[in-house]
Amino acid sequence: MNKLKIALTIAGTDPSGGAGVMADLKSFHSCGVYGMAAITSIVAQNSLGVQHIHNLEQTWVEEQLESVFSDEPPHALKTGMIPTIDMMTMIANQIKSKSIPYVIDPVMIAKSGDSLMAPQGRQALKNTLLPLADVATPNIPEAEEITQMKLQTEAEIKKAGRFFINEIGSKGVVLKGGHLEGDARDYLFTKEGEFTFTAPRFDTLHTHGTGCTFSAVITAELAKGKSVYDAVAKAKAYISLAIEHTPEIGQGRGPVNHFAYQQLKGWD
């Protein structure tokens, strides 16, 4: 019997369950992977927005990671909300000492529009964690902030993708096109080539936690030994079904359905 694969998320919380480590753990589980989590921030948020953020001390996060890695190291890890520069530096040092796939969801702004990171932290993210990433998963506004480019056309998106690979040093990046017009089109860039994943765009307000979920599925698939291309392809199919079959929870921008893929496609 094959040993169950493990994925670790390092991120903030969401008591409403739609984003952050709560969404990550649901995504890991629905991909057949055992999930672990280290908390960086306690966030009071729901489908209506972010009300309060309480960042943990950097040493508290480090203690969580030391506990995990000293006992049963994961087969892949992802980071989401990393609010301070000290925390970024510490996590970068942890990642450098491990030889496992690393996925970064460069969380800067919540779906509600609330800022989750100070401006100086955005530059530090570019210098510390992004160069270590096997896959980075910025949406268009995040990619614009990181690259300082305006991304409205496919040519501009391709230029930004090559910037991540050639200038920042990420091994792979998915530029998520959810903020663009037309079909929901995501662009994967690696040193091996450029790939496009397209799905229908669904008319729904309920997209809270899509970035967390998408990156978590990639992490789970990499933990299972899948290639970056196959992991992104699974994540694209997973998030499309999750958006199409939203549970419509909450009074505002509700969460996606983390169980739609498993229910409709089964385990794979």
The catalytic site residues sit at 176, 207, 209-212
3-state SS class at 22: helix
For 2, 160, 193, the CA distances from 267, given in Å and listed in that order, are: 15, 35, 29
Residue type, 220: A
Residue 65 corresponds to which tokens in the numbers above?
Answer: 């990671």
Which residues on adjacent β-strands are paired with residue 136? Answer: 104, 173
Task: For the chain, count helices (H), then strands (E).
Answer: 9, 10
How far apart are alpha carbons 257 and 263 in whole angstroms? 10
Least Cα distance to 14 among 212, 207, 205 occurs for 212
Pairwise CA distance, residues 64 & 69, whole Å = 9
* CA distance linking residue 61 with residue 41, whole number of Å: 9
Name the nearest CA neighbour of 130 among 79, 193, 195: 79
Spatial separation of the C-alpha atoms in residues 78 and 67, rounded to whole Å: 17
